[in-house]
Amino acid sequence: MLRTIYPGSFDPVTYGHLDIIERSCKIADELIVGVLNNNAKMPLFSVEERVKMLNEVTCHLPNVVIEPFDGLLVDFARQRKADCIIRGLRAITDFEYELQMAQTNHKLGAEIETVFLTTNIEYSYLSSTTVKEIAAFGGDITQFVPEAVRRELNEKMKTKRRV
């Protein structure tokens, strides 16, 4: 039984994340999508909102569970008895940060491996930050995020414009 964790901020989940989730859950018996609950990162969406959107867009995947976490990722992985951490690599620019994170996690918990999946080339340019910027300026984000996320993001931007 292979239990894996795919951690991230998912602020909000994009088609790039969803591609990694769908491919990971073919490899793993159980995939836990760990949603970082860290207000220091000043997320646009609360952790509850991010978990809700992830639940909606992964409801067709029976071996995926969505869970918020705070604190160290290796502690969460140990607590959930996960064998490995999955991360997506989009481009060489991701590599330095991902390598540093994987090596730090290895120092903190050598029993938990980090496995990288290269992002589908179709989504290699895509990030939550870019999607939020396009939405903030009223651009069309249909090709970047699932419908449920598009709705939530557009609503959030409307609320922000009102304040």
Catalytic residue list:
17, 41, 90, 128
* Single residue of 28, 33, 36, 126 touching ligand PNS by CB under 6 A: 36
6 to 17, 19, 27, 114: CA distances (angstroms):
9, 12, 12, 10
Q: Does 72 bind ligand PNS (CB under 6 A)?
A: yes
Residue 8 or residue 12: which is nearer to ligand PNS going by CB?
8
Select from 2-10, 18-26, 135-143, 150-158 the region that touches ligand PNS (CB under 6 A): 2-10
Residue 91 or residue 138: which is nearer to ligand PNS going by CB?
91
Q: How far is the CB of 24 from ligand PNS (least distance, A)?
A: 14
Find the distance separating the first CA and the last CA of the chain, reported in whole Å. Answer: 49
Binding-site string for ligand PNS from residue 86 to residue 125, where x marks contact by CB under 6 A and - marks none = ---------------x--xx--------------------
Contact 88, 125 (CB under 8 A): no
The two structure tokens encoding residue 17: 């994340």
Q: Does 24 bind ligand PNS (CB under 6 A)?
A: no
Select from 4-12, 59-67, 118-126, 149-157 the region that touches ligand PNS (CB under 6 A): 4-12
Contact 128, 11 (CB under 8 A): yes
In whole angstroms, give the CA distance from residue 74 to residue 156: 32
Name the residue among 61, 34, 32 with its Cα closest to residue 47: 34
DSSP state of 90: -
Q: Residue 51 CB: number of other CB atoms within 10 A?
A: 19
Give me the residues that bind ligand PNS (CB under 6 A), please: 7-9, 36, 72-73, 101, 104-105
